[in-house]
Structures are given as C-alpha cells and as structure tokens.
C-alpha cells in the first residue's frame, strides 16, 4: 500500500494509487465515526438509563430526577 501511495507522486502512475488512498480515507472515516459513537453516544445512553434504574439503592432513579428538577424551580 505504501508503494501504491508513492505512485501518486507521478502524474502518469497516479491512478494506481487511488484505491490505496480510498482505503485510507475510508478507514479514517470509520475510525472517526466509530470513536464519536463509542465515546459520546454510548456513555450518554448508559448514564441516562442508570438514572431510571430501580434496582439500585434508595437515593437514585426517580428520586434523583425529581430532586434535580426541583432545584430549577422558582421559589
């Protein structure tokens, strides 16, 4: 793959390097999208589900949500 990328330096052989460049762009996009999903979407979803988990001790779940909402109310 490195040799194919080097072929892009010459205008005559540049078309031979297109598949390797496409592969690198595709892998880069997959890593970026996968990292964004694994790093932000999954942890946020898990944390949201834990707020409503009723199998944990008393001061969690709906009580935590209602306590958080009550701090925003106007006195």
CA distance linking residue 26 with residue 5, whole number of Å: 15
Assign 73 to helix, strand or coil: coil
Determine contact, residues 23/1, Cβ cutoff 8 Å: yes
CA distance linking residue 72 with residue 6, whole number of Å: 60
38 falls in which pLDDT band (50, 70, 90)? confident
Average pLDDT over residues 21-47: 90
Residue 47 confidence (pLDDT) above 90: no
For a pLDDT cut of 90, what percent of the chain falls above it?
A: 29
Assign 13 to helix, strand or coil: coil
């Amino acid at each position: 793959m490195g040799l194919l990328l080097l072929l892009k330096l010459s205008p005559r052989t540049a078309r031979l390097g297109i598949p390797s460049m496409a592969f690198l762009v595709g892998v880069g996009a997959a890593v970026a999208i996968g990292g964004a999903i694994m790093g932000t979407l999954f942890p946020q979803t898990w944390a949201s589900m834990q707020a409503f988990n009723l199998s944990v001790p008393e001061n969690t779940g709906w009580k935590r949500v209602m306590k958080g909402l009550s701090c925003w109310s106007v006195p």
